[in-house]
Amino acid sequence: MKSNYLLILFLFLSSFGFAQGYDVGGVVKETGSGLPIPGVNIQVKNSSVGTSTDMDGRFSLKGVSSGATLVFSYLGFKNLEYKVVSNNSALSISLQEDSKVLDEVVVIGYGSQKKREVTGAVSVVDSKTLEALKPVKIEQALQGTVSGVNVTTTSGAPGAALDIRIRGIATNGENRPTTIIDGYIGELGLLNPNDVESITVLKDAQAAIYGTIGANGIILITTKSGKKNSKGKLSYNTYTGFQETSRTLPMLNATEYALLLNESYANGGNAVPFPNVSGLGKGTNWQNEVFSTSVPIINHDLSFSGGSDKITYAVSGSHLDQQGIIGENKSGFLRNTARVSVGADVTDKLKLKTNVIYTYFNRKSLNESGLGSVLFNALNTPSTLTPYDVNGDFTKVPTNTGLGIEIINPLAQIANTYNDYNFKKVNGNFGLDYKVFKDFTISSSIGFNTSNSESKSFAKQILYWINPSDKVFDVLRSSVSQSAINDNDYSFDLFGTYTKKIGENHNVVATVGNTIYKQFGNGLFATGFDVPYNSWEFADISLTKGISETVPNGSYNYDERRLSYFARAQYDYKGKYLFSAMIRRDASTKFGPGNKVGYFPSFTAGWVISDEGFFGEDKWINFMKLRGSYGTLGNDQIPNNGYVSQLSGEATYVFDDVLVNGLATGQIPNPNLKWEEARKFDVGLDVKLAQNKISIVADYFIDTRADLLIPFIPVSGINGTAAPGAGSPTINAGTVRNSGLEFAIDYKNKFSDNFSMSVGYNVTFLKNEVLEVNNGIGYIEGGSFGVGQQAPSRMEVGQPIGYFYGYKTDGIFQNQAEVEAHPSQLSLGADASPGDLRFVDVNGDGILNASDRTNIGDPIPEATMGFNLQMNYKNFDFAVYTFASVGNDMVRNYERNLTDVNRLNYVLDRWTGEGSTNTTPRVTTSATGNSTFSSYFVEDASYLRIQNMQLGYSIDSKFSEKAGITKLRLYAGVNNLYTFTKYKGFDPGASNGAPIGGGIDYGFYPIPRTYLLGLNINF
């Protein structure tokens, strides 16, 4: 009987031991570098239980049976098995990179490809980089991280657009790359950065599979999705911070201003305006008045993801609220997003996927750049004026010949600015993959974008001086303008992919399909006059009763379509000889009969040299691939209906001595419009060294853009192009070539169990040259400088696009003898005197006139580069990202050329007598040619910017997991920390986005410096 009791006790203890589970967790890292690997799949062998690593490579599994085997798998690394024998929450798993397979998958359009087999110029930015950069807009993550890509700001105001250029400016038309989000055309700037898994940039003929939309490059966005066989993971990321201006300009204080103005008046033979300057002190610093400090920004992001063996899901939402450093809530940006992503294996053959994104944002803005902007007024308003008068009202800036009629009190301008813009958008796609048989899969996808926006702006009745209409910004009659715009598009893709391995050495992948794309929408605009109570609260057209003498409303609608067919064949022999060929046929309604269809072929090839027998087992060089590509891509991104004449213009006619509003011809048509073509050549080398710790990518490229689609070509005014609603035609009128060299090197290594580091450097050298301009006069002008002066920028054969065209200067006239020995400068505005700028007689004909204008600067940088560093020490992480631009010039155009305006303090080094200086001219109220556009106003705008610096600390998982938290990270960071430059203006990296005239500084709203405190927490 006793033995029976012992047997029962033994069986009980055995069953208890068998049922007992262990808690297992830790971190998964790369062998060699020691860097954590996010997204590693951990599966209990022969079970459906599993999980995946988080962004820091950490994982946790509970209740794992003793003796069970965990399988760690990740693309590009060898699988690893680990047998569970006890509780262990501090495992350190190292995965070894499979250097012979290099299975990391890269999205290349209508499919994917192993990284080692990619034969085009393709760059990838992963979610780890996005996590470190914390961009407000996703475009910011490309600056300095991808060679050949340059991102410029149009304004530092919240919500302002950013411009992306891939391998330079190729056309005077549309230069922005096309964004493809999970297979459909989308808008990059509207994405929540935390929703993005990776960004892939196609820079060469690899993008030819997209045909007509690929000429400017393709940006492929892959959004985050759930992982199969992983438990639900809840992630909450938030940061809050404050902003301030990154730069202020050194202006004259009140005393300096008064003394300089006295000198100017005296030099002009006039009575001095400030007989007594004592007591003026420093006066008003108008920049301090308009710039706010500690301006808030806050962001919240919540996501939930997971999956079973059949279904994956990811749900997320975000909220961003950012106020402006000028005007605060009058210059703010609020963005809310929501996203749902679901994937399902319906059967072994049928897979469904969907991804839907909702975006809402609200933006309020000020006049941000140019003549009459807030900063323009802050820089030019005299420091002797006070912001408010004795009655507490805004001080009015006088109107006189020395101050002009456009400069007003910037604080009054902010207070009297009223506008509101609301935008709602739903976009996404629904797709399926069906495996017809083992080697053949059919894929289809419907992508869509539908957006609605409403705007309202109120012009308050106000006088900025005393008499009616003394200032150009005076409003004699209040009005409210409103608009409602609806934009839609959808695409339908259907393609088949055939994958076949022939024998042991031959691999073939063939893709063929078609795309249908339609874009349509409408807009309605209206203005109402005489707003009740002259108040923003009553600013609505329904409340206005005023009658207008002109047409106060307008509308438009459009419907554009493309029908495309494409095919691609990929072949490799033994994985070391690689070849692909692509062709796409596009038909677009943007072109007239006979020119609708375009054909865009391309070819790529590669040779994995390191797989050759003669290469041997070199332990220093682990991988080497030579690749090349050539192809033709298209561009149809021009205004709609350019080949037909439409009655979209306004006209006023006289019938029986009465003015009658009617219609007139709009844009002048061009029935001969045809495709713009980009001929792209690239040869590149990919190398991995020192046990794959060092990666090198080098590319030489030539991008020749022919038959440029140039909108709004100037034509004779006799055609009526100056009439309201009319416009110049779009024509094929030129050729531009960009050539250059890209080089990127990355190093990552684990130096000890506690310390690892990753360093990256990339540089792009670029040369831009216009080869042809076929518009009848051989050049195209653009941009503006001052008031009433000739256009300062040109597109001309033999020169870079948008180069600065003006007079060269050669110092300062020091005495009258030098003036008399020099050709007369009368045609430039006035005869020269000692102390004036000396202009160069370029053609040597002894006469200074418009024929002496020449190339005086280039807004396109000779080189751009990025240097990025990430370090991990125990639980601390540190990252810094920098960007540099070298050789780009910028025109200083934020100073009004009037005698009584305030000035930057560099004028204190003005010419005051022979030998005093040879750089800055004298000050005078007399007429001179010193304000004529010349090299005096062109500056070297090279700069180095510390874009982001971040320090984080992760709580040890053995502590956080007790609270059910798999990751808890705190961090502090600074965005736009500092810019090193000699340029005098606010931002040497800003641009208005125009290919011709883009390098002219009208007083750019500076990018704010932002201090952040953040939290990342996963459950």
Contacts of 659 by beta carbon, 8 Å cutoff, 6+ apart: 549, 652, 653
Does residue 902 sit in helix, strand or coil?
Answer: coil
Let me know: does 57 contact 38? Beta carbons within 8 Å.
yes
> Is the pLDDT confidence value at 941 over 80?
yes
User: Sorting pLDDT into bands at 50, 70 and 90, what band is 22?
Assistant: confident
- Residue by residue, DSSP assigns 779-830 as EEEE---TTTPPP-EEEETTS-TTEEEEB-EEEE--SHHHHHTS---GGGTS
**967 phi, psi to nearest 5 deg:** -150, 135
| Statement: residue 2 has pLDDT above 80 | no
Closest listed residue to residue 796, CA positions, set 774, 775, 780: 780
Q: Taking residues 607-631, what's their average pLDDT?
A: 86
Determine the Cα–Cα distance for residues 6 and 791; give it in Å rounded to an integer.
102
Render pLDDT for 343-386 as a digit per residue (tens, 0 to 9).
999 998 999 999 999 999 999 999 887 778 999 999 999 999 99
Q: What are the start-end ranges of the E strands in 325-373? A: 328-345, 350-363
Structure tokens at 426: 């739903």
Say if strands 69-73 and 41-44 run parallel, antiparallel, or are unpaired.
Answer: antiparallel
Least confident of 276-285, 539-548, 705-714, 1005-1014: 705-714
Give the integer Cα–Cα distance in Å for 305 and 336.
19
Across the range 167-193, mean pLDDT stands at: 89
Over 70: is that where the pLDDT of 11 sits?
no
Q: Where are the alpha helices (DSSP H) in 865-967?
A: 957-960
Residue 8 has pLDDT above 70, yes or no: no
- Positive or negative, the CA dihedral 829, 833, 836, 839 is positive
At residue 171, the pLDDT reads 86
pLDDT surpassing 80 at residue 194: yes
The proportion of the chain whose per-residue pLDDT surpasses 70, expressed as a percent, equals 95
From CA 450, how far away is CA 424, in angstroms rounded?
A: 8
Instruction: For residues 63-69, give the mean pLDDT.
Output: 84
In angstroms, what CA-CA distances link 920 with 317, 806, 883?
A: 55, 18, 31
- Higher pLDDT, residue 368 or 311: 311
pLDDT band at 642 (very low <50, low <70, confident <90, very high): confident
Query: Alpha carbon 606 to chain centroid distance?
Result: 31
pLDDT for 57 equals 82
CA-nearest of 543, 544, 701, 731 to 638 is: 731
Q: How confident is the model at residue 723 (pLDDT cuts 50, 70, 90)?
A: low
pLDDT, position 917: 95
- The pair of structure tokens assigned to 563 is 């029908």
- Each residue of 514-542: pLDDT tens digit? 999 999 999 999 999 999 999 999 999 99
Average per-residue pLDDT for the chain: 89
Q: What token pair was written down for 992? A: 């208005």
Q: Would you say residue 10 has pLDDT above 50? A: no
Residue 719 has pLDDT above 80, yes or no: no
Residue 987 scores a pLDDT above 60: yes
Integer Cα distance of 127 and 980 in angstroms: 28
94 vs 29: CA distance, rounded Å: 5
Burial class (CB in 10 A: 0-12, 13-18, 19+), 430: middle
- Residue-level pLDDT at 7: 40
Please report, rounded to a whole number, the percentage of residues in the chain having pLDDT higher than 90. 62
**pLDDT at residue 12 greater than cutoff 60:** no
What the block records as the tokens of 499 is 């994958």
Least confident residue range of 160-169, 453-462, 534-543, 617-626: 617-626
The alpha carbon dihedral of 929, 930, 933, 934 has a sign of positive
pLDDT single digits (tens) 212-243: 888 999 999 999 988 887 788 899 999 999 99
Please say if the pLDDT value at position 100 is more than 60. no
Q: Which residue has the tokens 């050759």?
A: 612
- pLDDT value at position 555? 87
pLDDT for 387 beyond 80: yes
Max avg pLDDT among 430-444, 666-680, 716-730: 430-444
Q: What are the tens digits of pLDDT across the range 995-1012?
A: 999 899 988 889 999 999
CA proximity to 72, closest of 126, 31, 107, 101: 31
Q: Does pLDDT of 508 surpass 50?
A: yes
Q: Which two structure tokens, joined as six digits, stand for 515?
A: 């795309």
What DSSP assignment string belongs to 661-717? EEEE--BPP-TT---EEEEEEEEEEEEEETTTTEEEEEEEEEEEEES-EESS----G
Nearest of 1015, 1019, 878 to residue 301 by alpha carbon: 1015
Distance of alpha carbon 489 from alpha carbon 446, whole angstroms = 11
pLDDT > 70? residue 782:
yes
Is residue 13 scored above 70 in pLDDT?
A: no
Lowest mean pLDDT among 564-578, 856-870, 963-977: 963-977
* pLDDT 10s digits, 439-471: 999 999 999 999 999 999 999 999 999 888 889
Across the range 21-38, mean pLDDT stands at 79
**Each residue's pLDDT tens digit, 820-830:** 999 999 998 89
pLDDT at residue 573, rounded to an integer: 92
pLDDT at 550: 77
The model's confidence at residue 32, banded by pLDDT at 50, 70 and 90, is: low
Report CA-CA distances (Å) from 950 to 139, 389, 871, 874.
19, 45, 11, 16
In this predicted structure, the answer to whether residue 46 has a pLDDT above a threshold of 90 is no
**Residue 884 has what pLDDT?**
96
Distance CA 203, CA 146 (A): 11
The residue type found at 833 is S
Supply the pLDDT for residue 107: 82
Token pair in block for residue 791: 């256009």
Residues 548-607: tens digit of each pLDDT: 877 788 888 999 999 999 999 999 998 899 999 999 999 999 888 889 999 999 999 999
Answer positive or negative: Cα dihedral of 837, 839, 840, 845.
negative
pLDDT band at 98 (very low <50, low <70, confident <90, very high): low
Mean pLDDT of the region 243-250: 95
Which carries the bigger pLDDT value, residue 614 or residue 606? 606
pLDDT grade for 668, boundaries at 50, 70 and 90: confident
Q: Which residues contact 998 (CB under 8 A, 6 or more apart)?
A: 152, 169, 783, 793, 802, 859, 991, 992
pLDDT band at 19 (very low <50, low <70, confident <90, very high): very low
Q: Is 334 exposed, middle or buried (0-12, 13-18, 19+ CB in 10 A)?
A: middle
pLDDT score at 866: 95
